Every structure is written in C-alpha cells, then in structure tokens.
C-alpha cells in the first residue's frame, strides 16, 4: 500500500475554523506555521505569559457550534476569513484591536449563553496547541476508517482537528511509533505521545451539533480515548500532499 501524506490542515485561531494546505515548510522545534497562532480567551480565563491551557479558551468541547467554522488566512494581509453555516462570513485582522468588537459580535451567538463568554484574542508567539511542547499532530486514515466501521458511521477527519493525515499505515500502528522517527517529504519528526481526545470529536463539523459518541466508542472498542499522536519536528523541511512517508 502506498504510504503518502493525504492532508495538511491548520487552524489559525484555536477552535475557530480550519483550512487545508497543499504544502507547508516546517521548522525544527516549532508548531506548524500559523496553526493555533491565536486563541479566543473567555471571561473566566486565568492567563499567564506565553502558552496557556485550553481551559482558558472558547473551543468546540464547550461550544459545539464552533466546530462548524471554516477559515482562510491571508498571511500577506494578516486577514482571516471565517465562515459558519448559521453565522455567515466575517473577515478581520486578529491582531487589530479595532476589529475585535466586530469579531466578538459575530462569534458570541455560537457560544452557549450559560458558559464563559469570549472577550479577547490572544497569541503566544507559538502555536496555542493543547500540548505545552511545540509539536504537530499526525493522524491515520486507516485508524479513522476502523473507528468509523466500529461506529457504523462515516467520521469526518475534521472532527479531530489534526495537522497531518497519513495514508497507508496499518490500523492503529501509530501508537507503536512513540520514540521513533517519521520522515515526510523533507521533514523529520519524532513521535512523542498519544493524543487523548475530548468531546469536540462528538460534534458534526458540518453542522456544529453533537452527532456521534466518539469517546464512548473509543473506550468501548479499544479501551482508551486516544486518537492520533503528537510529533516534534526534529529536521526542518517542506512537506506537500502526496509526499511519501516512512519510519526512519
């Protein structure tokens, strides 16, 4: 079976949209460029300088409607466009304080009224990923197909908000790669740990509504709630959809 990189995805604002890329240059020791570069802090956040835990931010696990947002980021202009099937479309500059009120007006209706409400867009100079170590997430289409078959439903890759989706691995083989190195295109990764999932994966990314008990299915069928692995970039390089991958 051909072993190729099937999809590259980034999420410029954590929990608020996703976009696919044809290629990207990765730097050793860094997250994917512009992935989770910003995050939306809520009014109960207790922020510290730099990286912060996900509990400080508006996200799909607590506001399912956010999972239906898609995005396009114009790096040259610093403008991000968000689209939602109910909220419509908005284009703004996350770094421009003058644009914040307009963004908040757009996004607040997507957050449950009884939960902490979004109040600010913050950045940390690195990806505000769920992992305190700068890393990227690597997920397997074979494992997704296996989970989909167990659940009797076709699960979208967008439920899992991953960076790199690979094709051609044995089912769940990625969990056995911890401590090993993986080569994709010009880049080399060290696989560091499994990713434990949250309730955001239960949400249909087309509608923003809870639709599938992914966590219960993982627990029932496999005895855990993990899907995908984190990896640290150890050698910089360009990667593109269709590049072959191999274990070093």
Mean pLDDT, the chain cut into blocks of 10 residues (248 residues total): 95 98 98 98 96 97 98 98 98 98 98 97 95 97 98 98 98 98 98 98 98 98 98 98 97
Q: What is the pLDDT of residue 177?
A: 98
Domain boundaries of the chain, sorted by first residue: 4-30+131-247, 38-123
Tell me which residue of 10, 50, 48, 49 sits closest to 31, measured CA to CA: 10
Give the pTM: 0.97
Kindly list the distances between the CA atom of residue 246 and the CA atoms of 33, 44, 169, in Å, as whole numbers in the listed order: 23, 44, 10
Contact between 93 and 99 (Cβ < 8 Å): yes
Q: What is the pLDDT of residue 88?
A: 98
Distance between CA atoms of residues 135 and 133, nearest Å: 6
Q: What is the pLDDT of residue 159?
A: 98
Please identify, in words, the CATH class of the domain defined by 4-30+131-247.
mainly beta
Q: What is the pLDDT of residue 203?
A: 98
Q: What is the pLDDT of residue 61?
A: 96
Q: What is the pLDDT of residue 201?
A: 98
Query: Which token pair is 48?
Result: 């510290």
């Amino acid at each position: 079976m051909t072993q190729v990189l099937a999809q590259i995805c980034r999420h410029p604002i954590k929990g608020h949209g996703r976009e696919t890329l044809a290629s990207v240059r990765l730097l050793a020791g860094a997250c994917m460029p512009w992935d989770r570069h910003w995050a939306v802090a809520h009014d109960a956040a207790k922020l510290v300088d730099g990286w912060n835990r996900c509990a400080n931010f508006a996200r799909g696990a607590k506001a399912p409607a956010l999972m239906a947002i898609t995005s396009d980021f114009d790096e040259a202009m610093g403008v991000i466009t968000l689209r939602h099937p109910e909220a419509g479309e908005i284009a703004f500059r996350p770094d421009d304080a003058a644009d914040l009120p307009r963004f908040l007006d757009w996004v607040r209706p997507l957050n449950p009224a009884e939960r902490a409400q979004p109040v600010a867009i913050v950045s940390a100079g690195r990806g505000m990923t769920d992992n305190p170590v700068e890393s990227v997430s690597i997920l397997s289409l074979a494992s997704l197909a296996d989970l989909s078959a167990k659940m009797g439903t076709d699960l979208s890759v967008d439920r899992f908000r991953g960076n790199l989706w690979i094709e051609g691995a044995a089912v769940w083989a990625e969990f056995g790669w911890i401590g090993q190195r993986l080569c994709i295109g010009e880049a080399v990764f060290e696989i560091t740990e499994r990713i434990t999932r949250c309730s955001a994966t239960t949400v249909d990314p087309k509608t923003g509504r809870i639709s599938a008990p992914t966590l219960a299915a993982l627990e029932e069928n496999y005895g855990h709630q993990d899907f995908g692995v984190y990896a640290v970039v150890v050698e910089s390089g360009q990667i593109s959809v269709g590049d072959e991958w191999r274990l070093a």
